[in-house]
Amino acid sequence: MQNMQRTWLLADQLQAALNSSPLSHRELAERAGVQYYAVRRMRIEGVKNRSRNAVALCNFFGISEGGSILTLSAEDLKKAVQQAWDGSEEQGRLLLELIRSVGQYKVAPKL
């Protein structure tokens, strides 16, 4: 039986963004919060699949499933956490646990 993997819809857009970015592999990795070798591999070998690093890079470049620009940034999320956190260790742990717990849920792509 032939192994056929569906192509990730954002792979071409992400590849174009990676190729046109003036940032070095290291700068891009640091700014996007991904591994240096992931950026290097994607730039050299191409975007192969929907990995965590690929999704983080899409977020960095503002690429979304609908092909539109994301209106929510990592900075928006950081600000929301800072506003919600009262500075205590207990609430910090609660917020962290809450954020980690929702990671298992995915938003279904629009058809």
Q: What is the pTM assigned to this prediction?
A: 0.54
* 47 and 89, same domain (yes or no): no
Between the alpha carbon of residue 60 and those of residues 14, 33, 42, 89, 93, the distances in Å are 10, 9, 15, 29, 26
Tens of each residue's pLDDT in the chain, 111 residues = 333 344 577 888 899 999 999 999 999 999 888 999 999 999 999 988 888 888 889 888 888 766 444 556 677 778 888 888 898 999 989 988 888 887 766 665 544
Q: What is the pLDDT of residue 51?
A: 83
Contacts of 81 (CB under 8 A, 6+ apart): 95, 99
**What is residue 10's predicted lDDT score, i.e. its pLDDT?**
83
Give the residue from 55, 29, 51, 32 showing the smallest Cα distance to 40: 29
Residue 37 domain-assigned (yes or no): yes
Q: What's the pLDDT at 77?
A: 79
SS3 6: coil
Enclosing domain of residue 26: 11-61
Q: Are residues 54 and 24 in the same domain?
A: yes
